[in-house]
């Protein structure tokens, strides 16, 4: 089931997120995030932007939200997306389902463009975004470091008007 984020989801979201902090370049956080910091950030985002979770029973297995792209007023119709899926469900269509649901919400709220920032290489995330209709618009080689390796960063854009 897909529903809106609730404050009580935060602990389970943090478990999903910290898995990726420890094991992948999907996030460029190096150190695990603590519950207080994560909770404040999730509540801030949910108070301003669409934020959804995928649940099975009481277990939260994925989440997706959008956040500020740039602070200038001219960017008010553009947002940056984030999607994280429990590692046991990667590749099972949950990301596609989440994006389709999120994009419907964004359209009704008048947003026009979604930006996704992907750490590279990340074939699974690239495939998800391109399946949804995102197009690669920028590539920055070696601008980040994680696990003692230089990481490329790419930007994908989806127009939703």
Residues 75-127 pLDDT 10s: 999 999 999 999 999 999 999 999 999 999 999 999 999 999 999 999 999 99
In 3-state terms the chain splits into helix, strand, coil percentages (rounded to 5) of: 40, 35, 25
- Alpha-carbon separation of residue 107 from 18, 58, 113 (angstroms): 30, 29, 9
Helix or strand or coil: residue 81?
Answer: strand
Residue 90 has what pLDDT? Answer: 93
**pTM, whole model, 2 decimals?**
0.95
How confident is the model over 37-53, as pLDDT tens digits?
A: 999 999 999 999 999 99
Contact 83, 63 (CB under 8 A): yes
Contact 158, 77 (CB under 8 A): no
Give me the torsion for CA of 157, 16, 50, 128, rounded to 10°: 30
Alpha-carbon distance 95 to 134, whole Å?
A: 13
Among the CATH numbers 3.40.630.30, 3.90.1150.110, 3.30.470.20, 3.40.50.300, which is that of 2-159? 3.40.630.30
Residue 161 has what pLDDT? Answer: 80
Q: Residue 76: which of 85, 86, 66 has the closest Cα?
A: 66
């Amino acid at each position: 089931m897909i529903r809106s984020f609730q404050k009580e989801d935060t602990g389970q979201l943090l478990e999903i997120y910290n898995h990726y902090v420890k094991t992948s370049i999907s996030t460029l956080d190096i150190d695990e995030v603590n519950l207080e910091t994560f909770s404040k950030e999730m509540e801030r985002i949910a108070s301003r932007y669409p934020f959804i979770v995928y649940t099975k029973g009481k277990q939260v297995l994925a989440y997706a939200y959008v956040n500020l792209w740039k602070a200038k007023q001219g960017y008010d119709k553009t947002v940056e997306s984030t999607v994280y899926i429990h590692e046991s469900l990667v590749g099972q269509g949950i990301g596609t389902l989440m994006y389709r649901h999120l994009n419907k919400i964004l359209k009704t709220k008048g947003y026009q463009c979604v930006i996704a920032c992907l750490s590279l290489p990340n074939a699974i995330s690239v495939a998800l975004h391109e399946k949804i209709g995102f197009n690669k618009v920028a590539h920055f080689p070696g601008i980040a470091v994680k696990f003692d390796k230089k990481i490329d960063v790419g930007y994908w854009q989806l127009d939703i008007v």
